[in-house]
Structure 1
């Protein structure tokens, strides 16, 4: 996230999204489908069907920020078997999720060491 940005909550959207959605589409989803305030001091996190990509949306002072992470191997752990549209986690738990920790099964991603992208 942006240096100096403070976030109070992290919302994981449980359903997979169309990854062609960008800031406008995701902010509308947060506001209209989830009934949440996209301008809140919160991070809204989305995944694709394969769970190998995530997008994170948040408001910082005067505009939206959107970033994406793609795994080259493995998948992000994602909440399942829940009734709510979102799962609220802490910022620390989100960091663990990015590092590969499965918050629901206690399992890490394998560390990969590549020498080249092609």
Structure 2
């Protein structure tokens, strides 16, 4: 995860694979991503259902098939260079926090 010679998504894949044999890490990416982000806070980002839903609300599909975490990191890597300032200089961790905070619906409540 800290090897600068590999892409962030490759590092994410390697880290996720390393954790997959441990109890509690065989499926799902939320807990594993939190552990990987704790170990390498600048290159990694936390994945959870809110970040997934936020990407979907932006029109970015992220399937649930194996390899989702490294694809998530790759999506963040594609988003950051095209973000407006100052978001362009954010770390992946800052981007995942923004995704977590993104409103998931633009609909107004009934009756307003």
TM-score, normalising length: structure 1: 0.28
Greater share of strand residues, 1 or 2? 1
TM-score, normalising length: structure 2: 0.28
Greater share of helix residues, 1 or 2? 2
